[in-house]
């Protein structure tokens, strides 16, 4: 379980980005985190990982996110960045996936075996020896997901996982997310993707949770979305659901 209690974050003194955010995320849930630009989605994820200071309480599986617990917390939380180039820094896919495993003390033989398994599970074994600079955007995103999954996190955070992808690669990512048996927290402007992958949606606006409920309800409420700087998912935009 991940718990946030009255969390405040600010990059500039006196200008908070998160303003008393409280949220409970239970094991096995898939949560869509949506909001206009600047609503606090990425900040919330960074605070959960201890990457930025905060006040209030954030607990991951009962551990408070603080310096003494960073290693344990970050082992529980896998983070897939919006820009895969910022996550993949080794020459090949194999080396990237193995990097974290080796750092946690796994032998090279064990790490490669684990890498082979994860790449096979994701259907990208053919990318194992490929150089990262030769990968397409979709291949990079899948390889970044593989590197996170190899660490066996119990919860996975994804920041805009489908951004800048063509329709085919977008569908590959969505199908991959649907096949993951983990707690998922996905921040995205792609509300159709959230509808496809997340049963629950949390709407952030100006650093606060303004709505929290079933995706099928919140993401078809035109008035709610538009009042928080969002638009209906494309599949509903033309006709508009009843009650909008």
Q: What is the DSSP string of 70-117?
A: HHHHHHHEEEE-SSGGGT--SSBHHHHHHHHHHHTT--HHHHHHHHHH
The pLDDT assigned to 238 comes to 62
Q: How far apart are the first and last CA of the chain?
A: 34
Written as six digits, the tokens of 26 are 């239970």
Are 212 and 23 spatial neighbours (Cβ–Cβ below 8 Å)? yes
As a whole number of angstroms, the distance between CA 111 and CA 97 comes to: 9
Which residues share a beta bridge with 243? none
Written as six digits, the tokens of 180 are 């993951």
As a whole number of angstroms, the distance between CA 145 and CA 53 comes to: 26
What is 2-237's CATH superfamily? P-loop containing nucleotide triphosphate hydrolases (3.40.50.300)
Closest CA to 169 of 190, 148, 147: 190
The pLDDT assigned to 68 comes to 96
Written as six digits, the tokens of 206 are 């100006």
Closest CA to 54 of 70, 42, 43, 62: 43
Are 194 and 40 spatial neighbours (Cβ–Cβ below 8 Å)? no
The pLDDT assigned to 104 comes to 86
Q: What is the mean pLDDT of each run of 10 residues along the chain (244 residues)?
A: 95 91 95 95 95 96 96 93 86 95 93 95 93 91 92 94 87 90 94 96 96 97 96 77 51
The pLDDT assigned to 244 comes to 47
Which residues share a beta bridge with 79? 157
Question: Is the full-model pTM beyond 0.85?
Answer: yes
What does the domain layout of the chain look like in residue ranges? Answer: 2-237
Which residues share a beta bridge with 10? 16
Provide the 10 A C-beta neighbour count for residue 113. Answer: 13
| Residue 160 per-residue DSSP state | S
pLDDT tens-digit map of 33-92: 999 999 999 999 999 999 999 999 999 999 999 999 999 999 999 999 888 888 888 999
Average pLDDT score over the chain: 92
């Amino acid at each position: 379980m991940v718990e946030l209690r009255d969390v405040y974050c600010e990059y500039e003194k006196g200008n908070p980005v998160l303003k008393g955010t409280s949220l409970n995320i239970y094991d096995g849930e898939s949560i869509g985190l949506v909001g206009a630009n600047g609503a606090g989605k990425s900040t919330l994820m960074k605070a959960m990982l201890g990457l930025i200071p905060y006040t209030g309480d954030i607990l991951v599986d009962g551990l408070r996110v603080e310096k003494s617990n960073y290693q344990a917390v970050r082992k529980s939380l896998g983070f897939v960045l919006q820009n895969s180039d910022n996550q993949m820094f080794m020459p090949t896919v194999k080396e990237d996936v193995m990097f974290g495993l080796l750092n946690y003390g796994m032998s090279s033989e064990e790490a490669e075996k684990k890498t082979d398994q994860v790449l096979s599970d994701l259907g990208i074994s053919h990318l194992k020896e490929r150089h990262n600079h030769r990968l397409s955007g979709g291949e990079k995103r899948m390889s970044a997901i593989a590197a996170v999954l190899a660490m066996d996190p119990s919860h996975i955070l994804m920041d805009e996982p489908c951004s800048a992808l063509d329709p085919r690669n977008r569908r590959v990512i969505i199908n991959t997310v649907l096949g993951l048996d983990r707690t998922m927290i996905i921040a995205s402007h792609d509300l159709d993707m959230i509808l496809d992958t997340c049963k629950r949606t949390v709407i952030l606006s100006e650093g606060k949770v303004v709505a929290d409920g079933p995706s099928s309800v919140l993401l078809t409420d035109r008035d709610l979305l538009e009042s928080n700087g969002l638009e209906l998912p494309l599949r509903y935009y033309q006709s508009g659901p009843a009650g909008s």
